[in-house]
A and B are shown apart, each in its own frame.
Chain A
Amino acid sequence: MTATKRMTAAKRHRPVRRRSDWKVALIFLVPLIVMYAIYFVYSTGFLARTSFTKVSITFFNAVDVGWENYRLLLGDPVFLRSILNNLVFAGISIVAALTIGFFIAVALSTGVRAKRVFYVLFLLPVLMPLSLLATLFNSMLQQRYGVLNTTLEALGLGALAQPWLTDPGLAFGVVSVIFCFLIGLPILYYTADLAALPTESLEAALLDGAGPFRIMRSVIYPMMTSTHLTVILSLLLGSFRALEVVLFSTQGGPGDTTEIVGSYLYGWSTSAGPTVGFVAAASIVVLIIALVISLVQMVITRPRKGRK
């Protein structure tokens, strides 16, 4: 038996099926199972049960209301708009990452001095508390007292000073910009994968005398499709979990223009009175959407059949 084991051990990916280790596996998986059971399985069940009631945060005196919460939810244009907004913001930040983020990553890899300073600056917004970032934006963009407008006035460009936070279109743009501030992460992915690019095409292009921008666009960009995919998926996942970005900058305003799923749920979660059943229904719908996104991500990144 020993010789057979040694031979099969050389093959990394398809060891001969020994007796299955399921008993040991179960023991090792206990911590995971406990956490998941409590925080995901129980939670989902709890939410489902609560979503059919009208109850306050005390969970006492729950009144059964059947599908009413779901009816109210799916008939609420603000909720539907918030889902749309999530997708739009994700889309915008994806476009920014695939263009600006890509450019920054490549540019920084071409031998720029003070590279580290640039990295820190671009990475900082992703890693500092988002509540801070969004608050700074809000304070900076106040029409009358914000630094941006007062600077524009000081520079004589007062005509450019806008109601950034109270005009719906502009506010939407502001939130998009904040989302774009989070391209530090895609820049990281690009940088790491740039280091692993095969060099033959690059060498060939250099020999042909192509300029850097041409090379970036026509040679490097097409070669990084798997990274592009990674970036797209990661931003999609991340935007769905966003909350503070909107909460501290525009609070979903003006009106409901910039509401996202997170801020919508937060608003209802913090409102007084028997709204918890409604929140639970919204949470269930959000959970379903989150699971679908994860599913999509898993299917797309499934390794091709030959490998396993």
Chain B
Amino acid sequence: MTAITRTTGSATRRRKTVERDPLQRIVTRRSERVVIYVLLILMAAVFAMPLYSGIVKSLGVNGIGNYIALLTQPIGNVSIWATYGNSLLIGLFHALLVLVVSATAGYAFSRLEFPGREVTFSAVLLFLAVPGIAILVPVYSITQQAGLFNTHIGVALPEAALTIPFGVLLLRNYGRNIPMALTEAAHLDGAGHFRVFWHIFLPLSRPALANLTVLCFIWSLQDFLWPAFIFTDPSMATAAQAVQTFSNALGQSPSELAMYNASLILLAVPAVLFVLFGMRLIVNGLVAGGTKE
């Protein structure tokens, strides 16, 4: 999970039509184009290698049967569908929490004036680099006191805490790009801030909110740390954490090792789907990590 603030604005300049785009014209000779393709393909092959190796190993012994077995029976008390379900539910709570906090704080930091605003905002951003493992111990204590072990919200809360700095950054920057004129007009008509927030800021921020939602789901799917520590009941597992559970449950024989690799591939599927279908949202969200102007 990373976020940065950038100093160039990507929203302002729009690419000219393709034919007039000089980048498209810098490759003139055939030989150069070939070199470029070869290099790209080589690198893509290297990038695809781990997945390829997993797929190869997973088709050993029983072939496709491994996948079918995984999709129909649980392994060590955990069914693959349950891991998908758990991850998605956590993602939902995660996204809700982050949206609520980011939208409200983003509005405050971009549309409201108050003393110490920039200093407070900087203080919020200070926590962008905090690794989850560093706050593991207090989160244990907090989760214990709130009785939230083995609950989805118990996992979503620390996840949200670590995503919030990024979310606030995103919404605040987005909010600054909304022309003041719009809100000024509303204020002049007598609308208070709550109204402006609900009827103007939120609808206009929809793209940023959508990006943030997708990113929250992806990050919940990726998260290993919080499910590993907060789900003490092994029958509750999420995709990233099930890797560990399966490696312990699937032991000795080659057929089980093949199944283990098949489970790895299956666990990667939701992420792949999100990337395939949500690519634009993801890209926009990550890239718009901040325009600071």
Contacts and interface: CB of A to CB of B under 8 A. Distances in A.
Secondary structure of the B contact surface, majority rule? helix
A100 to B, nearest CB: 7
Contacts of B135: 39-40, 43, 47, 283, 287
B5 interface: yes
Given A29-B105, A121-B47, A128-B272, A234 B125 contact: no
A73 interface: no
Interface stretch (A64-72, A158-166, A206-214): A206-214
Contact of A12 (B4, B8, B180): B180
Contacts of B37: 112
Nearest to B104: A28
B199 interface: no
B137 A50 contact: yes
B272 A36 contact: no
A21 B112 contact: yes
A283 B139 CA distance: 12
A117 B181 CA distance: 42
Interface string B109-148: 0001111010000101111111111111111111000000
A88 interface: no
B113 A100 contact: no
A35 B98 CA distance: 10
A20 B141 contact: no
B7 A303 contact: yes
Contacts of B286: 185, 188
A9 interface: yes
A213 B32 contact: yes
For this complex, into which size category does the number of interface residues on chain B fall? 35 or more
Given A28-B104, A128-B268, A112 B40 contact: yes
B279 A123 contact: yes
A120 interface: yes
Contacts of A39: 135, 138-139, 142, 157-158, 161
Nearest to B87: A129
Given A32-B124, A32-B168, A226-B8, A287 B134 contact: yes
B237 to A, nearest CB: 12
Contacts of A266: 133
Given A32-B101, A193-B8, A244 B131 contact: no
B137 A269 contact: yes
A94 interface: no
Nearest to B120: A29
A263 to B, nearest CB: 9
A156 interface: no
Interface in B177-212: 179-181, 184, 188, 192-193, 197
A298 B7 CA distance: 12
B19 to A, nearest CB: 10
Interface string A116-159: 11111111110111111101110110000011100000000000
Max chain B Cβ within 10 angstroms of own Cβ: one of A32, A241, A276 = A32
A122 B243 contact: no
B236 interface: no
A276 B160 CA distance: 24
B4 A233 contact: yes
A61 interface: no
The 10 closest A-B pairs by CB, nearest first: A129-B240, A39-B161, A43-B138, A22-B114, A136-B50, A202-B22, A147-B53, A128-B271, A238-B2, A28-B108
15 contacts: A28-B105, A32-B104, A35-B97, A39-B158, A121-B48, A125-B50, A128-B222, A136-B54, A147-B53, A205-B26, A230-B5, A234-B289, A265-B136, A297-B128, A297-B129
Given A139-B57, A279-B137, 13 more contacts: A28-B104, A32-B164, A36-B161, A104-B43, A188-B287, A240-B131, A243-B132, A243-B225, A279-B136, A280-B137, A294-B127, A295-B126, A303-B292
